[in-house]
Amino acid sequence: MALRRIQGVPVEGKTVLVRVDYNVPMAEGRIADDGRLRASLQTLQHLIDSGAKIALISHLGRPNGEVVEELRLAPIAARLQELLGREVHQLDDCVGDTVQTAIDAGAAGDVFLLENIRFRREETLNEAGFARQLAELGDLYVDDAFATVHRSHASTVGIADYLPSYAGFLMQREIDALTRVMEAPEKPYVAVIGGKKARSKLGALHDLVSRVDEVLIGGGVAFTFLAAFGIGAGGDELDADLIDEIREIGELAKERGTDIQLPVDAVCAETLAADAETQTFLVDEVPDGWGTFDIGPKTIEQFTKHIGTANTIVWTGPMGAFEVEPFSEGTRGIGEAIASSGAYSVIGGGETGDAVKRFGFEDRVSYISTGGGACLALLRGKSLRALNVLQE
């Protein structure tokens, strides 16, 4: 994928609008994980060193077009200021005369952070007039928010109609890492799919079974699949409305020669709690009233063997409720298998990336994406407008 890259673009004396993804986890008004801020620093430092003035655009949470005090970006500005070692000017809005005046008064190397872009309903509607207002704040646009490229919003798509547009360093790293999987994956190519709900993964599975050699399915997703194939009742995660579609995916996998592996056992408890009494059952012998919160040891062993044969691996979605210690072994075991495999491994962002970091595998996998949904959309072969506007 040939992107217009920010390297070599003359930016001295210009105002550069940079779309970043600072949608970070918050706890009691403080940033719980600043990884997304750190991921943007290379682009920001490059622009500062090149003599540009920077206006940052980001969202936080889902305010649905309303001003939500708890979702203001002041904590983001404070932490970014620490990371950059220079003042970050927090603005009270994202467009308008006051914002324009503040930016115009700045000097080369100044950094401004616009207020939460999703306080404006026009953002998610990709409203053309709003995109033009954003564009009027600067001279060129850089998209460094990979996690948002599957969203056709004013700050990711519409703005590019009015300004020269380029990919930042984080965007480039993401696309370069994923291109290897999209265009020429070394076989065997194994996809590991987990997560809580089957509904969120069906589209991806439908597309991936035509692209990979094997799919290993765990987490809550697996139990709707098991029920669709006549194995077990599906438990609390069962979505009966998906049974027919899952069977279609199974038929497509057979036609394509793609092997689907499902759990054979599960770690269960009557409640999801750190002090819960757990037992391991075969998937078709889980007692009524018991929840299935992790894949079991036989499944870990089975999945590990398949992972060991792979040369390319994509993993998205944990194998269970890994945040609760009695149910962490499945996700930890799969992470260890992937980290030890020697395969080119791409980890989808979100919970999967968090798990890989939590269990200490971060330096033993090939790439951890910053965007779970965006990563999966690309691996499915989807055309994404926010990337299309950056292509040469």
- The set of catalytic residues is 36, 197, 350, 373
d(CA 218, CA 223): 8
Specify the pairing of strand 140-143 against strand 30-31. Answer: unpaired
Query: Which segments of the chain are extended strands (E)?
Result: 15-19, 26-27, 30-31, 53-57, 88-90, 111-113, 140-143, 165-167, 189-193, 214-217, 259-261, 265-269, 278-282, 291-295, 312-316, 344-347, 367-368
Residue 216 C-alpha from the chain's centroid: 20
User: What DSSP character marks residue 5?
Assistant: B
**Residue 143 in contact with residue 168, Cβ under 8 Å?**
yes
Give the chain's radius of gyration (CA, Å). Answer: 23
Beta-carbon contacts of residue 292 (< 8 Å; ≥ 6 apart):
220, 223, 235, 236, 237, 266, 267, 268, 283, 286
Separation CA 54–CA 138 (nearest Å): 9
Distances (CA, A) of 186 to 245, 257, 315, 341, 381: 29, 17, 16, 14, 17
Please report which residue ranges of 286-361 form alpha helices under DSSP H: 297-308, 329-339, 351-358
Q: What does 93-105 look like in DSSP terms, one character per residue?
A: -SSSHHHHHHHHT
Closest CA to 377 of 221, 175, 170: 175
291-295 and 265-269 as β-strands: parallel, antiparallel, unpaired? antiparallel
What is the C-alpha to C-alpha distance for residues 228 and 242, in angstroms, rounded to an integer?
8
Distance CA 321, CA 110 (A): 43
Residue 56 neighbours by CB distance under 10 Å: 25
Provide DSSP, 61-97: S--TTS--GGG-SHHHHHHHHHHHTS-EEE-S-SSSH
